[in-house]
């Protein structure tokens, strides 16, 4: 038995000792839910804990264990879990009857106005929908509808949700390049029409545009890679992307579903000074509810307006729960708060991010383990509350999605499985080795978190050295 098997065995035993009720809940769940749940990231092995409640930085499971949580609702909960500010208002709304009606109501106007203002105004228009997956899918459809072209360019390691157009080049460990099949159920034709390029590689971008620029509908990119490693785009890369897309008549789409209102009370596009043609927002903007948005230049967004001939119009219009008035109200409170308190919120989150990333790297270094923590800002992003831990093989660099997602370059199992369980056993919940600090994380939470990484590093040394 290898050291990692022994360590896994030890951690599974410790985890099971503490989580008997979650285990029973999972056995029941497995009988009726696929793999026991509805989202694979939430379904870690041997089984997930079941949450009984969550407030601020913490989540409590059904066995009474408490965890400092950095998953924070898929990074949506920048104020922490169940913030009193939003809860109070929503409770009052519900008291007056705020369940679904299917009519237009005012809060969506205010939320759209706020977003347009924060994104620099001009001729922007917004349409709301209910998930990031849908927002990016509609953005691609708008681009294809407008340009009449059928190729879509995305980043290797970029996750934009599971729409057929963008479910390619998500995983690296399946093959040497980007071309592995990430999912069954996607027509060959669509698979072929999605092209993949390397993040922050302006020359590769230029080559692709030279060869295929006149067939490309859009280039979609996260200004700050999420699942692909919490890595910021360089200013130079996004500027070049803007120039190339403009030159070739291709739409530039920013996926700001993680980055929107995460680093500043606006999108990263404002900080980079690069205005995309379309952008997708989600997560934070819903104040804990299912809200996403496509924002874009009026002339492009008109592509989904009625009055166009059939076939010339993008049918971005369904959505039983789109712009649900309670969700819109929650989003408005959230963004209003972030804008009003930006001067204290964002610098503090950035300072905490720096301290946490450095503390984690130090904790591993003290045990002779090479662990790197991404998530820092750069020449444009002034600071960051995100952190992701990696265990590079043989001192390799950790600067691209390939580095962090390819098991030959980084030890993925150690991060995704072993580190996760070790931290849970020490009272900390992370995803992909890290997560997002929220406004409700206190200094003592961060200290406790660094201690938990330190205890984990000691275990790694004991079992893996």
Q: Based on CB atoms, which residue is closest to ligand PLP, 19 or 77?
A: 77
Q: Based on CB atoms, which residue is closest to ligand PLP, 293 or 380?
A: 293
Closest distance to ligand PLP from the beta carbon of 416 (Å)? 16
Half-sphere exposure of 297 (CA within 13 A, CB side): 11
Closest distance to ligand PLP from the beta carbon of 135 (Å)? 7
Q: Based on CB atoms, which residue is closest to ligand PLP, 161 or 433?
A: 161
Rounded Cα gap, residues 223 and 237, in angstroms:
10
Which residue sits closest to ligand PLP, CB atoms considered? 132
Q: Based on CB atoms, which residue is closest to ligand PLP, 136 or 279?
A: 136
Q: Based on CB atoms, which residue is closest to ligand PLP, 38 or 101?
A: 38
381 touches 374 (CB < 8 A)? no
Query: Would you tell me which residues interact with ligand PLP (CB under 6 A)?
Result: 74, 131-133, 136, 159-161, 222, 226, 255, 257-258, 282
Q: Based on CB atoms, which residue is closest to ligand PLP, 388 or 418?
A: 388
383 touches 354 (CB < 8 A)? yes
Closest distance to ligand PLP from the beta carbon of 130 (Å)? 8
Closest distance to ligand PLP from the beta carbon of 152 (Å)? 14
Closest distance to ligand PLP from the beta carbon of 159 (Å)? 5
The tokens of 261 are what? 């209102």
Closest distance to ligand PLP from the beta carbon of 399 (Å)? 19
Closest distance to ligand PLP from the beta carbon of 404 (Å)? 15
Q: Based on CB atoms, which residue is closest to ligand PLP, 133 or 410?
A: 133
Closest distance to ligand PLP from the beta carbon of 268 (Å)? 12
Closest distance to ligand PLP from the beta carbon of 233 (Å)? 13
As to burial, measured by CB atoms within 10 angstroms (0-12 exposed, 13-18 middle, 19+ buried), residue 263 is: buried
Closest distance to ligand PLP from the beta carbon of 415 (Å)? 18
Q: Based on CB atoms, which residue is closest to ligand PLP, 257 or 373?
A: 257
**SS3 annotation, the chain:** CCHHHHHHHHHHHHHHHHCHHHHHHHHHHHHHCHHHCCCHHHCCCCCCCCEEEEEECEEEECCCCEEEECCHHHHCCCCCECCHHHHHHHHHHHHHCCCCCCCCCCHHHHHHHHHHHHCCCCCEEEEEECCHHHHHHHHHHHHHHHHCCCEEEEECCCCCCCCHHHCCCCCCCCCCCCCCCCCCCCCHHHHHHEEEECCCCHHHHHHHHHHHHHHEEEEEECCEECCCCCEECCHHHHHHHHHHHHHHCCEEEEECCCCCCCCCCCCHHHHHCCCCCEEEECHHHHCCCCCEEEEEEHHHHHHHCECECCCCCCCCCCCCCCCCHHHHHHHHHHHHHHHHCHHHHHHHHHHHHHHHHHHHHHHHHCCCCCCEEECCCCCCCCCCCEEEEECEHHHCCCCCHHHHHCCCCECHHHHHHHHHHHHHHCCEECECCEEECCCCCCHHHHHHHHHHHHHHHHHHHHHHC
Q: Based on CB atoms, which residue is closest to ligand PLP, 26 or 230?
A: 230
Scanning the structure block, which residue is given the tokens 């008035």? 325
Q: Based on CB atoms, which residue is closest to ligand PLP, 282 or 375?
A: 282
Q: Based on CB atoms, which residue is closest to ligand PLP, 160 or 168?
A: 160
């Amino acid at each position: 038995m290898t050291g990692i098997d022994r360590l896994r065995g030890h951690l599974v035993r410790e985890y099971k000792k503490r989580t008997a009720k979650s285990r029973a809940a999972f056995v029941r769940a497995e009988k009726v839910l696929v793999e026991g749940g509805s989202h694979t990231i939430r379904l870690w092995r041997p089984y997930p804990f079941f949450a009984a409640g969550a407030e601020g930085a913490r989540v409590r499971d059904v066995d009474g264990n408490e965890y400092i949580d950095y998953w924070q609702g898929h990074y949506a909960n920048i104020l922490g879990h169940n913030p009193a500010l939003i809860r109070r208002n929503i409770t009052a709304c519900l008291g007056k009857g705020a369940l679904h009606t299917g009519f237009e109501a005012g809060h969506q106007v205010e939320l759209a106005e706020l977003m347009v203002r924060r994104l620099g105004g001009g001729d922007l228009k917004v349409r709301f929908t209910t998930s990031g997956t849908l927002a990016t899918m509609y953005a691609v459809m708008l681009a294809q509808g407008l340009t009449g072209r059928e190729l879509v360019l995305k980043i290797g390691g970029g996750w934009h949700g599971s729409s057929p157009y963008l479910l390619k080049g998500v995983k690296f460990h399946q093959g040497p390049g980007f071309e592995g099949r990430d999912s069954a159920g996607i027509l060959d034709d669509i698979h072929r029409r999605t092209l993949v390029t390397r993040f922050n590689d302006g020359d590769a971008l230029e080559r692709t545009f030279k060869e295929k620029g006149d067939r490309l509908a859009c280039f979609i990119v996260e200004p700050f890679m999420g699942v692909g490693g919490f890595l910021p785009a360089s200013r130079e890369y996004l500027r070049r992307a803007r120039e190339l897309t403009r030159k070739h008549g291709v739409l530039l789409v920013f996926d700001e579903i993680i980055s929107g209102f995460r680093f500043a009370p606006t999108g990263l596009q404002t900080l980079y000074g690069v205005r995309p043609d379309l952008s997708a927002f989600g997560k934070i903007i819903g104040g804990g509810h299912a809200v996403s948005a496509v924002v874009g230049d009026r002339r492009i967004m008109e592509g989904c307006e009625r009055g166009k001939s059939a076939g010339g119009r993008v049918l971005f219009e369904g959505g039983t729960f789109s712009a649900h008035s309670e969700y819109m109200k929650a989003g408005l409170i959230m963004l209003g708060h972030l804008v009003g308190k930006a001067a204290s919120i964002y610098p503090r989150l950035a300072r905490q991010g720096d301290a946490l990333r450095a503390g984690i790297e130090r904790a591993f270094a003290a045990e002779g383990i090479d662990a790197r923590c991404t998530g820092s800002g750069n020449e444009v992003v002034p600071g960051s509350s995100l952190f992701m831990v990696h265990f590079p093989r043989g001192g390799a660099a950790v600067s691209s999605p390939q580095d962090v997602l390819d098991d030959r370059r980084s030890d993925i199992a150690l991060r995704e499985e072993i580190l996760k369980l070790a931290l849970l056993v020490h009272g900390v919940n992370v995803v992909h080795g890290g997560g997002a600090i929220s406004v409700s994380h206190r200094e003592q939470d961060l200290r406790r978190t660094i201690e938990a990484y330190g205890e984990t590093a000691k275990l790694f040394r004991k079992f893996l050295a």
